[in-house]
Amino acid sequence: MRTLIKFSFVFVLLALVASCKGDKSKAAKTGDAVDTKATPTAAAKTYSVAEGTINWTGTKVAYGHSGTLNVKSGTLSAEGSKIKSGDFIIDMTTIKNTDIPEPEKASNLEGHLKNEDFFDVAKFPTAAFAITSVKDLDISKGDNNAEITGNLRLKGIEKSVTFPATVMAKADGTLTAISDKFTIDRTEWDIKFSSGLAGAVGDKIISNDITLQISLTAK
């Protein structure tokens, strides 16, 4: 019995180490929602979001699942490659799993994520992000040229979220904005299914952290 317990402990520990080693995401700065949105400057050009995807990953002790969400619409304003303001709407009905090869199992997971245990899509079919401020970053000190702060509304709850991103104005008139991978604590938006806060224990616990990466193309 002791040997079995030791083996189980080592397996869980190795799984945690492997999970952390492969994940380069950083926790986003979060806080109370900010009352005022960023506003366009006189010199800024306005872009409409033509394509937008949010990649997501959720994990348990020894494994995780990943997938995508579609951005429904949005606008950005920028002076060259410097974003000045913007917001976008996320279509929560488009939650998709991308790592499970069996269509039925993938569909079951998608259905569970859409129900009341997680995002309650029937009641909250959209989420939203509105930029409240942008800090320019020195690309000689890293890969990103912007630190974006905005209010993320999810399940009717708004919280301020800050993450780094790379913004680029292209010669063809498009503007791309791609965030680093970052994590948010889902329980801050009252998503507590199988969390420690909800009383889950052992291998039933789903991590509170959701890893996100936002990719927008605007014209």
Domains present along the chain, CATH in parentheses = 27-184+210-218 (2.40.128.110)
- Provide mean pLDDT across the span 145-158: 98
Identity of the amino acid at 121:
V
Query: Does the pLDDT value for residue 17 go beyond 50?
Result: no
Per-residue pLDDT tens over the stretch 186-196: 999 999 998 87
Contact 177/167 with Cβ under 8 angstroms? yes
pTM, whole model, 2 decimals?
A: 0.85
- Provide mean pLDDT across the span 4-20: 35
State whether the Cα torsion 86-91-92-95 is positive or negative: negative
> Which pLDDT band holds residue 123 (cuts at 50, 70, 90)?
very high
Query: Does the pLDDT value for residue 3 go beyond 80?
Result: no
Residue 82 has a pLDDT of: 96
State whether the Cα torsion 215-120-27-74 is positive or negative: positive
Residue 48 to residue 65: CA distance in whole angstroms: 31
Count, residues in the chain: 219
Contact 83/131 with Cβ under 8 angstroms? yes
